[in-house]
A and B are shown apart, each in its own frame.
Chain A
């Protein structure tokens, strides 16, 4: 690079000088902001620390996989799990409900079309918080559970929540779970096979029925012992785990760093190749240089951070005064877990059905649902769940409706003029195109749903925000909790949007 003599007039110089100045300005802003906060925290005798993650917080979480968490980290994990429970089941149900409402709005039946339009217009103009309170009020207007020891029930609604039977996991449930997932793959394979038969031989081959029968047969076979086949995975895991035992810890760290270096090398070389393939051969843009520097820096930090003895200061910065990140990243423990759960020597039914019961709450005269049997959907869970589902599904219905309507009328006309049946037309022409249009806005709705679960705090549902608030009220570590919130939600968003982006790229229509 050669600058002009009058470098202050050189565009390249000005560009970089301006950017560096901007960077310094932002850096200064943030550091002022942070140092002010840290100073004030220090003044209140609560210096920034991650220590609370390791100590017992002494809080009670009303629901979750653990109610008396042993550590701050575990408490937050319960919150995350509760949030994910609502988000994942919510996305699933809201998609189905939204599709039904969206299709209903396109129905030719006047009542169906009008009532679904009415529903959409009403629900989307009411703030979600109000709706969550509404659902809470609905469930609280049911009477309290009165009779104690009524015995096993099938279904019960009261001011304490909704109780229903639930499958209790047994020793072999992990084995069966994997088997169950495999059944989907098998059913899909069969479906594709029958479709190909239908296409190549030109006769009806019943792909839907065949795949359904496969699914049922596979799972029935699995229930009565077929799941043992999954034990192979456990066996492989035990072999791998033994292999890891042989490797020294430093070896694992080296492996991780090697993988990091390898991928950044691949990334950088891909970047360079991409720019080379264009006309400006071999010239890296500012952008490329910046990306390469960033990738290099990231690997450097990773390398220093993982070699604890050498990079003690950075690791201190990253994990605080009490490192809780395991240097081996928990890989051997994970493999051991897999080995124990997917063990082919285990026998018995994978799940048993248990029914809810009403018991006395402690020594008081009040009654509640037994936490040990059946499943209880608590008031907070129900209100948040219903709120986000109904609210999101009307938005999804709009996405579905506009997606279907956006497929040009000419497409269905062309299909009809070829003599296709309406159902075939919908399946082969309209839906594949509508799905492509619907995918990005649908992803946005999923993100909104995931974020909106945070309103559960209003009805005392212990998701991550509520738990985090409890913890920082207790421990005073506001900044740390905020960082965890941000990291968690950013990760959720990132994962959701990369899934959506992946499908979006995969299904993108080829244009000239």
Chain B
């Protein structure tokens, strides 16, 4: 459940969620500034979509695209991929049961069947899902994809000890998810949760209702994996491709080379194209250097792109705005406070004291890509309704204002909480983290709080802040979250229910039975009914519980080389869409 820009925004986002799935906001390809944050969206699905994907106007074939990436995806094992960039790159190699098609000028994502013939059929009790599978799908070596391979991939995902970075919904929702430990142990071949009655049918059995399953099966872990080829941890070196490209070579942490997959049949694929001949991903580049190279586009760099948000120091070097891919991404970044340790009244005073404006500058946030947030759900998630509680809109001077500071100080005194101690971790060897921490400390101390900051090495920070019982009361992860699919169900039940603490991803460590009940009540409704309900829960949480201060939403603004054609934002991941990119002059 990681966000790709861990290093870039280490100060504010220690550990965020992965993005997957969310219809775009109305902002479309606009920069998504404050003014055009979208409204509520309908969940969009198209169960009848057929291949081939509509041709892109003016697209040419041929050439090699180089991706100069400053971040390094941790894995390309389909079962283990959960970071947004790994997801996006894997789309070139792995086809899954369902996939998102980006429709229209606003590139609105629509869930379509990919390797499945349909979006799944639910049984009356909602606990058995049947997917019809396409026939004649082949791996890159020409061998036929079997129904058993889909079943094996699902079984494989239960070996969470081995694939510990991958998504975990199957452990919570699939039948025997809590007891089955994957196909490798004794009796691993027998798993009751998945059945393949014939070569074109896949049946998934659930332990509890999970109406978002069609969205979940868009994750790369649902790509078919033949048991005979499974080399466990080494599978990412030679994975079996079903998509338009196959892996030529992979050096972990350094380079991934992809070339055309001859067995890919465009007529069966409603989403992907195969315009360029090859992809060359170079990882662990220097951010500024790579982005400057891509912007300058001299020589071979014109065929290059970088998928991180443009560093704000390079803004003045952008000559051609069309070199930036812009659009929304489904994430909100917050400032979480441990509700078990800080009383509600004090949390409200912290909200009043927080120096939003100054912090945004110190943290280097770009107004175009990081618009201030006032809600928990980001605009890119359906069901989002913009509302603002007084003082909670991601902007303001907070206690930098002398009068406000004095007022907070006196109120703290009245509550009997004068010199209330706030404590948090920061990364001692990261200048942005240190400076943000200094700023908060100065302002909170001015407002009458006592502040204890603990500097830890950057490499260890995630271990410290990831501990839900860490001896600090502010800033435990997740500090930010991205949608796993376009619904509030990938937000509120996973972040704010009491059991989220045990799962290690609670924002604010809320333990409130009444709130649990409210969340459960909404979760039990049909997806369409939920759309209108989540925003009430959202408001209720911020108004009555305030486990976190919403800081900003995130948008995409990635630099592209001048020769890159059809560079569009994929709002499901907040990254450029790779499978439809072509070279203007191959």
A and B form one complex: no
Q: Using a CB–CB distance below 8 Å, which chain B residues touch chain A?
A: none
Q: Using a CB–CB distance below 8 Å, which chain A residues touch chain B?
A: none
